[in-house]
Structure 1
Amino acid sequence: MRFGMPWPGAEIAGEAEEAGAGAFCVGDFVDHDPYTTLAEIVANTDRALVGPAIAYAFSRTPYAHATAMRQLHATAPDRLFLGLGTGAFRINRDWFGVPADRPAARIAETAGAVRAWLRAENGAKVRYSGEFYEIDADVRAPVLGRLDIPVLLAAFNTGMATTAGRVGDGVIGHGLFTRSWWNDVVRPAAERGATERGAAERAARPAEHGWIITAVDDSAPERAIADARRMVAFYLTVKTYDPYVEHHGWQEPVARLREAFRSGDTDAMAASVTDDMLTEIAVCGTTSDAKAALAARSGALPADVGYFAPPSFLVGRKRRAAYARSSLALIDLVAADS
């Protein structure tokens, strides 16, 4: 597994790449566009794998996703991946003003239409025909040429993981993923999806990227642990993850943290995350604690790239940067487990 990081800024990224970090990713939100940030990442890194993890799939056309990646490829050939996610239904409806019903079917077509643009050859029409997209483009300018940039799909539950295996090059896992969720739910579903592909399109196995909640602070380990608890609690306020909660038998603590969330009590939210939940999900505490937690999760992490992600819920930029630097102490352990 490569040690990866959400983009920590050029200064920390330089230290990280020098120390052996092998990948950087960027998300998508109202204050940071993934492709603009990717241009910054490409300009400030030399060797690492880079890409969005994720870009909102439906907020842009397939053309827009592919064009951004094509332009970035000119500067960073063979270093790019494209991670797409559906986003929440209400975000698509209320923020972007776009339809997002039947998200698995819709993102499957989005991936296919993006690939049609990425794999377009000079002199040939760009064609894609589906339920949601109809493309018949005759691009006369000699600016195309096939690019085999991996397209990964964010997948949490079984249906989307199957879709990722069937139409994508792999899965981007959530920071909540545990050993059991990877091994018993996501991997089998992605592999089932992959068996539905034609032999020419089928890889040995779907690629696996994934986020890992990581908060390491030798001077204030209890604060780091509390920040990790709050991050876990915040994620679990989303009812989309109920199958995951039921799979682990965590209904009671999750009910408590959701009640605390409704009342705005963030301390009670964090306190509702049990020690067992935190051990299964996060890497936090002192450097020694984090190394022990990581060693205990050997074989239960994403197979290809793990993004060691500082908590962001109620954590300021300065402290997130400190967590990012502290996580570099884990690189050697990740490399040893690869």
Structure 2
Amino acid sequence: MERRWGITVPFQGLPLADQRELITELPDLGYTDVWSAEANGTDAFTPLALASAWAPKLRLGTAIVPVYTRGPATLAMSAATLAAAAPGRFALGIGTSSNVIVQRWNGIPFEEPYKRVRDTLRFLRKALRGEKVTENYATFQVQGFTAGVVADPPPPLLVAALRPGMLRLAGREADGAIINWLSADDVRTVVPHVHEGGPDKEIVARIFVMPDTDADTARGVARRQIAAYMNVPVYRAFHEWLGREELKPMWQAWESGDRKAALAAIPDSVVDDLVVHGPAAHCRERIQQYMANGVTTPAIALMTQGDPAAAIRALGLK
């Protein structure tokens, strides 16, 4: 398997229209992939469409597109369009997202997440091959949809997964899993559940990185991000499953409404486990630890403040 070195786009701190030069440079820096995210910033597909034109050697992936916020047919059309524009270079990553994004921001009930991902995955398998789909799934119905654009080959399908049920689904019915907000050591706990579906499954990991940043600054930024994520129910449940008892004081303070105490309760050791920081060479070594433990495709997510260019160049493999 080709060694992959991915990065998350678009880059924060730089207007989207001004990112062409930096994205064009990525292959020369040793990057093989760009992976998009979708929360409250850009959508998942537009930055990849731009990257496809700006740097035709790069592989493109979504990590992730929520299965609730687009109808199944619309999601299939978006994926097929990008796969046709970049033949053999696009992977579609789907997932539940969270109750915050789905229900609070989009007004869509966040119900039966496992079944919704499973049903969407099964629909996409057929739709992206150009099959006519008429099916009553557990969480939605599709009557007579046939995609008007069919990419050759169809894109691989990846599932964002945290705990065993979804991890096993990713291994059993998808082409791999996308994992997030975990330490290099946690990878050893997570990956075997995916590999129950086969040893060749792709494991994409979004790894949060702050290169060439002093420890106090890095930990201050990281604590705010950790508090924002780890108090979302799906991520709290994930870290409870991982046995991260050190976060209990933070959860208790957050539940009581004391945000300042919650931040202060996050130990340095947890911050250092979940966010890679320090000299760029050290950061590259830490990312490679994730790969040694089972990640096949790192998707570096920069948390650096300001212009990202220096950090991107410092983390490159060339």
- From the superposition, tell whether residues 272 and 14 of structure 1 become closer, same or farther in structure 2 (CA, over 3 Å): farther
Structure-2 residue corresponding to 1:44? 54
- Report what 1:167 is aligned to: 173
Match of 2:210 in 1: 215
Q: Percent identity?
A: 25
Correspondence for 1:281 among 268, 274, 284: 274
In the alignment, the residues of structure 1 paired with residue 161 and residue 270 of structure 2 have an alpha-carbon distance, to the nearest angstrom, of 21
Structure 1 residue 60: Cα displacement: 0.8
Amino acid at match of 2:4: R
- String of CA shifts for 1:61-82, please: whole Å, max 9, x gaps: 1211111122222321110011
Task: Return closer, same or farther for 1:280/1:98 CA change in 2, 3 Å cut-off.
Answer: same
| Superposition CA RMSD, Å | 2.9
**1:231 corresponds to which letter in structure 2?**
Q
- TM-score, L = length of structure 2: 0.83
| Residue of structure 2 equivalent to 1:306 | 298
Q: Does 1:177 align with 2:179?
A: no
Distance 1:72 1:285, change over 3 A: same
CA distance in structure 1 between the aligned counterparts of 2:148 and 2:70, rounded to whole angstroms: 24
Q: What amino acid maps onto 1:34 in structure 2? A: A
SS of structure 1 residue aligned to 2:158: strand
| 8 Å CA contact 1:26, 1:54 repeated in 2 | yes
Which ranges in structure 2 are unaligned for 5 or more consecutive residues? 12-18
Instruction: Verify: 1:331 aligned to 2:313, yes or no.
Output: no
In structure 2, the residue matched to 1:205 is 200
> 1:82·1:150 contact (CA, 8 Å) conserved in 2?
yes
In 2 relative to 1, CA 171–296 (structure 1 residues): closer, same or farther, beyond 3 Å?
closer
CA contact (8 A) 1:155 1:171 kept: yes
Aligned CA distance change for structure 1 residues 288 and 30 (closer, same or farther; 3 Å): closer
SS in 1 for 2:85: coil
Gap regions ≥5 residues in structure 1: 195-202
Q: What SS class does the counterpart of residue 94 from structure 2 fall into?
A: strand
2:54 partner amino acid? N
Three-state SS of the structure 1 residue aligned to 2:45 is helix
The equivalent residue for 2:161 is: 155
The Cα shift of 1:143 comes to 4.6
Match for residue 130 of structure 1?
Answer: 137
Residues 204 and 245 of structure 1, relative CA distance in 2, 3 Å threshold: closer
Structure 2 residue aligned with 1:64, among 69, 74, 82?
74
Distance 1:172 1:272 in 2: 28
Asked whether the 8 Å contact 1:2–1:22 carries over to 2, the reply is yes
Tell me if the contact between 1:156 and 1:173 (Cα under 8 Å) persists in the aligned partners. Answer: yes
C-alpha contact 1:214 1:228 (8 A) present in aligned 2: no
Aligned pairs for 1:184-333 within 5 A: 184=189, 186-192=190-196, 194=197, 204-217=199-212, 220=214, 222-246=216-240, 249-256=243-250, 259=253, 262-265=257-260, 269-294=262-287, 297=290, 299-300=292-293, 302-303=295-296, 305-311=297-303, 319=305, 321-322=307-308, 325-332=310-317
Please give the secondary structure, in 2, of the residue aligned with 1:231: helix
TM-score by length of 1: 0.79
Aligned equivalents of 2:141, 2:238: Cα separation in 1: 36
Inter-CA distance 258–231: structure 2 relative to 1 (3 Å threshold) = farther
Change (3 A) 1:45 1:128: farther
Alignment length, in residue pairs?
307
Partner of 1:92: 102
Q: What is the alpha-carbon distance in structure 2 between the residues aligned to residue 152 and residue 297 of structure 1?
A: 18
